[in-house]
Chain A
């Protein structure tokens, strides 16, 4: 841990721009930090020291030549391994893609490179982003830097842990049902899921196409906003990408940092504020008392900052978990069909006597982990003729009802708040045998995923010494509201950040 790795992204970029430090020095400091701690954290699946230093040298050369640098030029970044990177291994945490070197870049990969960010490597994740603990990675779990025996959340546990362990100041995550926000919550970092369509999905290995959204992860709200503006914006390669400018999230974060929320109406969602839903799924009890206590304190803080707090009801949120666990497996069963041993990736059992169908089935059996197989089978079932209307079709209608609940709530409030996760980080191995218990992790994050609306998680306290996250949700295309409120809250509660001395 050096001063360079303790800086924010904004601070790092400013130092590089001012010539106080070179991008190469910053990159090397982070590579050294990774070298020192990642053996214990396992945030990274692949480290690209050579590429990182090359990118850093390029930034330094451009600065030396007097060229204008972007606002994050030279800042190191950890890339979730679900994002395709040309010539860099991309596995999505799965054995089936081991050794694959993509021949192209995802749009966000291209955008971070073009902005002069320095990609340190690819971060660990639950296989194909299916999970809430990063225990489903085919390459072993990631450990929470706050307590190495605990999970870092998931699916983007590697990105969140890299931030919390000061291995990188910025990371890219993807959020289908909470995979940016829940890891942020349990690692004491910041993670934002943009409005669906706000960031290009081109080159994100798809889990559930109608829900997937890439977003920024950081240790501060402003840093997340800066990264959001680099990766956001219209992309013709993603037909679901919104053809509008990125909401002014950086300006909102700066404005929020003055700590004034006067005139802002904050809605507390009754159904996500500690009701009995989690228990209803038979999987692990309701909200943890420490989480609720932190959340209550956070609401109190928001009120102190001048916000007007109201309670809102969203009656259909209780169906979110059920709808999500139909839509996600259905879409992923189709999205993962392409891993078939023909064009790329693993091939198993091709002994010259077996048919293609046999080889395909053996490959997929060997290449996918149990959670992936389980969801593929559920999805195959849910899309089958005879069940489609009752399952997938009905789940899509539930999305509409959830979106209507949001619309009604946003009539009365500018933003909505809830805990990000019902629990703090649990022990590695504690819940892995019980899929439903694991799914309940997503209870608070799913409504915004299903409605396609933006949400951010910001640290809001500790429970038994482990971080708790506050989720701030806004209407579609109003991502800036999330940032403003989160930044104001952050300014008032900086003590909840990962201690700089972690894993010293």
Chain B
């Protein structure tokens, strides 16, 4: 018998937490001057430091520290007055020194929170810490059937990614979200991503791995007051997957608990294909990381004046921006929820800022563009249509250059080609036919071709004009303005008001 989600919630209270890794968008790596550019030829962005050559020593990237403080401040954290890097010791071939230089018990930012909104309800997610560390290299597994680590004959290592600044953002366990746990988890990552993007500290591209999530999930029997054993699900690399991972772990753990079994504290991996989680390495992994303070680096002790300077220079954050947008756009709370759920609040705001009226902007983003995003299974923000494009379309419709139908064709063309609106309009010759003599000729032809309909209109049945309008539109291949065509026909047939 398979449990339903409702069954789970009837008996268990979910608690989740997230550890999010963000690659900063600095020019150079965390501890050396190698470039962080994505997609370079293997092992071309490496040096003695990030290769862990004997004798090499790290030097901290100032911008990475500043960016981390920005993130901490944006997440309402306190900035530690004094903290150190530590070495986390374990052997793995993608880690050149066989220790990771990371902050351990002295993170740079602590005790913050992030408020997220799901269907108009606010949830406060506690932030335990934001700390600095370095990314690892990348292993490719060769041989075996799947190219996966299991069954591989050998592996190949590229250290270009090794040493890229990595920021880990750890939430406190989040209880009390009930049925909405999966959505709140997703909303948190969405909100975090928006903040990071607004701060300009990362390109936050989950598909390229610059934003990666580990999701912790546990269940406790309703009313028990005790938290259950948690699992850590790794490899959760899209917003949708965050939601699916929490949900599937809730179902899996509930089945175990219902059967009187224990949930094992373990690392699991999320499968994008199946949508469920699988156990990680079965072998008991050594977890004694033998942390100690990194003796090659000196403590970080941000001057409070510097922190305040960074705080003062923070851009307007998404939450404040949304509040301001709601105010200035004058949209209803209901619209705001709708826009928020569709992930288009900022897009609407930016479209308005680019000159479009609020209603037009909202209708485009909630309507045709959301439809396209859903078809393509991407977020509206990643669709590939910029707010500026939308504002331009609205303007072209308003000045009569395009009909709404033509504007939609323009969107399709933008999605196909990646060109901007003006370019696709020019390339495809998208232009409403506004030459009245041409329209009048078409109207005369339509009247001649359908005398019955013409008579009905002349007889006062104005609705019958629809058939004639359709004929004109067809003859002009949709490039005419339907309203203008209707007016011309009514004028000719004298049936108008």
Contacts and interface: CB of A to CB of B under 8 A. Distances in A.
- A and B in direct contact, judged by CB atoms within 8 A: yes
Nearest to A200: B57
A384 B58 CA distance: 24
A240 B296 contact: yes
A449 interface: no
Contacts of A501: none
A104 B48 contact: yes
Contact of B292 (A106, A203, A342, A388): A388
A338 B55 contact: no
Interface in B33-55: 47-48, 51-55
B93 interface: yes
Interface stretch (B73-81, B96-104, B222-230, B363-371): B96-104
Contact of A206 (B48, B55, B91): B55
B99 to A, nearest CB: 5
B55 A340 contact: no
Contact of A392 (B57, B157, B288, B292): B292
30 contacts: A83-B55, A102-B55, A201-B57, A203-B56, A204-B55, A205-B54, A209-B296, A237-B59, A239-B58, A239-B59, A240-B296, A240-B298, A331-B292, A331-B295, A333-B89, A333-B290, A337-B89, A338-B52, A338-B54, A339-B54, A340-B98, A356-B155, A357-B91, A383-B89, A383-B290, A383-B291, A385-B288, A385-B290, A388-B291, A392-B292
Given A340-B91, A340-B93, A360-B91, A106 B55 contact: yes
A344 B53 contact: yes
A90 interface: yes
B297 interface: yes
B89 A334 contact: yes
A385 B291 CA distance: 8
Contacts of A100: 54
How would you classify the secondary structure of chain A's contact residues: helix, strand, loop or mixed?
loop
A324 interface: no
B87 interface: yes
B54 A209 contact: no
Contact of B290 (A102, A210, A238, A384): A384
Contacts of A203: 55-56
Interface of B: 47-48, 51-60, 87, 89, 91, 93, 96-99, 155, 157, 288, 290-292, 295-298
Contacts, number: 99
Interface of A: 83-84, 90, 92, 97, 100, 102-104, 106, 201-206, 208-210, 236-240, 330-331, 333-334, 337-340, 342-344, 356-357, 360, 380, 383-385, 388, 392
Given A103-B53, A239-B298, A338 B292 contact: no
A84 B52 contact: no
Contacts of B99: 334, 337
Contact of B57 (A202, A210, A331, A342): A202
Contact of B55 (A202, A356, A385): A202
A338 B96 contact: yes
Contacts of A343: 51-53, 96
A74 B494 CA distance: 109
Contacts of B288: 384-385
